[in-house]
Structure 1
Amino acid sequence: MSLELHDISKSFKDDKVLDGVSLSVPEGKTLVLFGPSGAGKTVLLRLIAGVIEPDTGHVEIAGRNVDGVEPEDRNIGMAFQNFALFPHMDAHANIASPLTAQKQGKSAIEAGVQSLARLLKIEHVLGHKPKELSNGQKQRTALARALAGKPKVLLLDDPLRNVDAKLRFEMRLELPRLLSDQNATVVYVTQDYKEAMAFGDEIAVINGGVIQQIGTPEQIYLSPANVEIARLFGDPVINFLDVTPQEDRDGVFAMISDKRVNLDAGHKHAVGQDCVLGIRPESVLFVAEDHIRAVPVTVEAETPLNEKTVNLCLTARGREIMASRPSGTPGPATGPAFVTIDASHAVLFDKKSGALIPQDESAALPKGEVA
């Protein structure tokens, strides 16, 4: 079933938590609701579930306005941060409760419980009551219960928050497959950008009760709507350098360490404007001094991070820039060095507002080609 939110607003006393939020989730798709703590994510889930009602706007499920419809009549599965497990039931009974309500047979109930318990690695605590479970086990039990009934709409509020790193990594692989198999329409809340990128068909970035950007993971990462969103996605964080783009007969460019760095022709309309240039660390590549586009830097520090190595560099004017490369590939640990900047995915933001300056697609080079 599709899910539509139309101009949703909600206040608690003088605190406006949601301000004109509109979203659309097609049937069988997963929308990740991403944002910092206090952004309004959980309140929005509770509005969809019918636990609370909006001040303005309305929710539609499968084209039907569900204002005033009780939560149990919305065909929604929910797993919230406070777990909300039945305290008198053990984990097995909690997970089985949606299946029992559907009057499924004992063998089908048992098969459903065991399958989810294996996936979420809680087989060993199925006989335990909630008070005997750790927070991570409670969270996985609540997630299993939400999944068990195969609801048409599924609301997941940071369901892997208390899960250890190894299982979290495994769930990033397994859970999207399970959700796809169930063909549920999913709203998945997280503060972890890697989860957002892994789970979402689309990502909605919310902050201060306002949706700042909606797009595919690739769109959010490569064309963030503002400096704040750009900073939230990526590890290490994106590089920001104040620049004023220039143009000559060879095209559009910016100056870094007193060296020319060519920009995509689609940035021509930003020439002469005070901008912030956003460059992902993986686009900063170490090269030999005689490279045609070599930019001098000083490497201040090197940090190995398992699958990658990160270097903190300083430009000739003392501006910091991070470079990231796959572990095992050559690069200087400290001292003078030279880099080239792959500008094919560089982004420009207005220095004053922080908003993205979109490229002029009619003037841009083919994707991936560097000016």
Structure 2
Amino acid sequence: MASLALDHVTKRYGRETVLDDVSLSVADGEIVSIFGPSGAGKTVLLRLIAGMAEPEEGAILVDGSDVIDVAPEQRSVGMAFQNFALFPHMSAFDNIASPLVARRLGRDGIEDGVQKIARLLKIDHVLGHAPRALSNGQKQRTALARALVAAPKILLLDDPLRNVDAKLRFEMRLELPRLLERFGSTVLYVTQDYREAMALGRRIAVLVHGRIAQFGTPDEIYDRPANVEVAELFGDPGINLFEGHVEAGRSGMVAAVGGMRLPLAPGFERIAGRSVTIGVRPEHVGFAAAGTEGAVAARVAALLPLNDRMVRLLVTEDGRELYTSREAGGAAMEEGARGHVVADPAAIVVFDRETGRRIAPRSAGFASPALQENP
């Protein structure tokens, strides 16, 4: 195992800055997801760590030592790519064995190492096959085996599940964390799928426009996003966002959004009068009895069954759209049904409208109104 740190790393290609002053610290044996939209610089970040490219500024530290001048093969880094990158003229065995061959390990050591990792990944029965004869799932496992066989201190996984089918992707989300923990490598896992990032990473580094917008646990990032841009990257359906301002209500501070008065948790008194953007996840919007504080009259405009959840598109009396996502079941709901909805005050996120940054409350504790599954 090894600790990994990026210290103010910047990478440019011509006039384009791909990574801008990136700092990141990963502990020994930690699995960190690197998540962000396409073009954010995720793969470039891995290439810098692997030694396939050099930064213009900053340092890359492994166990506290800068490795920028260390050759790639001397960094003890394994890497698996989203396109598998297997040698087409070599069997699965030879592909997996290539890192051991490069280290000039003996024949018995190579055979033993390949067989052990192949059995662990359940591909020992296809070791004699060429890549063209493998399924996508087998190719993915072969590429992963090649990255793991030499027991690298640092393992870089570049969206390795992107090109496999949905069933295998789901299975590997469950299996990979256990597998990686057995090897004890420090892992950076790149993905464009927020669910994958949350399932696999103990912490997530959200990379946007070449900068780390937030680095924290999955719960921290989902429930307390650093800014509006991060908030919009997580959730399906996405977070409900409304522009308004903060003012005093009957029993505390509220977010005034058109005709809505949404109660806020304590701690926002200091921003009374400020223009804000209010965010609330669909699962924190529910139906409530008429007259409940903060309840808003709304009509069900559309229904979308989503596995074990029912997503509803609601339209308020002043024409604002919002989503609610609750467990499926209960009384039948039809389009056009009317009722009153309320947002859980403890789950409402407040952002500064000008900067987009989250405004944290100064205190905690709020008795939320009871949410109902149906009106």
How does the TM-score come out when normalised to structure 2? Answer: 0.90
Query: Secondary structure of the equivalent of 1:312?
Result: strand
Aligned residue number for residue 111 of structure 1: 116
Query: Secondary structure of the equivalent of 1:22?
Result: strand
- 1:241 positional shift: 1.2
Query: 2-side partners of 1:23 and 1:357: how far apart?
Result: 24
Aligned residue number for residue 251 of structure 1: 252
Aligned residue number for residue 78 of structure 2: 77
1:318 is aligned with what amino acid? G
Query: Secondary structure of the equivalent of 2:221?
Result: helix
1:348 is aligned with what amino acid? V
**Structure 1 residue ranges without an equivalent (≥5):** none
CA contact (8 A) 1:204 1:211 kept: yes
Aligned residue number for residue 343 of structure 2: 341
Query: Secondary structure of the equivalent of 2:182?
Result: helix
CA contact (8 A) 1:155 1:187 kept: yes
- 1:258 positional shift: 3.3
Does residue 186 (structure 1) correspond to residue 190 (structure 2)? The answer is: no
Once the two structures are superposed, the pairs formed by residues 299-338 of structure 1 within 5 Å of their partners are: 299-330=300-331, 332-335=333-336, 336-338=338-340
CA contact (8 A) 1:308 1:326 kept: yes
- Give the fraction of aligned pairs with identical amino acids, expressed as a percent: 51
- 1:294 positional shift: 3.2
- Higher mean alpha-carbon deviation, 63-72 vs 83-92, is at 83-92
Once the two structures are superposed, the pairs formed by residues 122-137 of structure 1 within 5 Å of their partners are: 122=123, 125-133=126-134, 137=138
CA contact (8 A) 1:140 1:160 kept: no
- 1:133 positional shift: 4.1
User: What number of residue pairs does the alignment pair up?
Assistant: 363
- Higher mean alpha-carbon deviation, 277-286 vs 136-145, is at 136-145
Does residue 171 (structure 1) correspond to residue 155 (structure 2)? The answer is: no
Query: Secondary structure of the equivalent of 1:250?
Result: coil
Query: Secondary structure of the equivalent of 1:244?
Result: strand
Aligned residue number for residue 359 of structure 1: 361
- Higher mean alpha-carbon deviation, 228-237 vs 264-273, is at 264-273
Structure 1 275/133 Cα, relative in aligned 2: closer, same or farther at 3 Å?
A: same
Query: Secondary structure of the equivalent of 1:214?
Result: strand
Once the two structures are superposed, the pairs formed by residues 43-82 of structure 1 within 5 Å of their partners are: 43-82=44-83
Task: Output one character per residue of 1:146-195: Cα deviation in whole Å (capped at 9) or x when no partner.
Answer: 12222110000001001111111111111011111211111110000001
- Higher mean alpha-carbon deviation, 159-168 vs 86-95, is at 86-95
Query: 1-side partners of 2:26 and 2:241: how far apart?
Result: 33
Once the two structures are superposed, the pairs formed by residues 265-280 of structure 1 within 5 Å of their partners are: 265-280=266-281
Does residue 264 (structure 1) correspond to residue 265 (structure 2)? The answer is: yes
Task: Output one character per residue of 1:320-364: Cα deviation in whole Å (capped at 9) or x when no partner.
Answer: 00000111134633221211211211101122222212222xxx2
- 1:286 positional shift: 1.8
How does the TM-score come out when normalised to structure 1? Answer: 0.91
Structure 1 300/321 Cα, relative in aligned 2: closer, same or farther at 3 Å?
A: same
CA contact (8 A) 2:93 2:114 kept: no
1:342 is aligned with what amino acid? D
Structure 1 12/107 Cα, relative in aligned 2: closer, same or farther at 3 Å?
A: closer
Does residue 15 (structure 1) correspond to residue 20 (structure 2)? The answer is: no
Structure 1 314/331 Cα, relative in aligned 2: closer, same or farther at 3 Å?
A: farther
Query: 1-side partners of 2:43 and 2:80: how far apart?
Result: 11
Query: Secondary structure of the equivalent of 1:9?
Result: strand
RMSD: 2.1
Structure 1 253/73 Cα, relative in aligned 2: closer, same or farther at 3 Å?
A: same
- 1:200 positional shift: 1.0
1:365 is aligned with what amino acid? A
Aligned residue number for residue 372 of structure 2: none
Structure 1 268/290 Cα, relative in aligned 2: closer, same or farther at 3 Å?
A: closer
Aligned residue number for residue 145 of structure 2: 144
Query: 1-side partners of 2:78 and 2:22: how far apart?
Result: 22
Aligned residue number for residue 210 of structure 2: 209
Task: Output one character per residue of 1:203-235: Cα deviation in whole Å (capped at 9) or x when no partner.
Answer: 111121111111111111011111111011011
Query: Secondary structure of the equivalent of 2:22?
Result: strand
CA contact (8 A) 1:257 1:316 kept: no
Query: Secondary structure of the equivalent of 1:229?
Result: helix
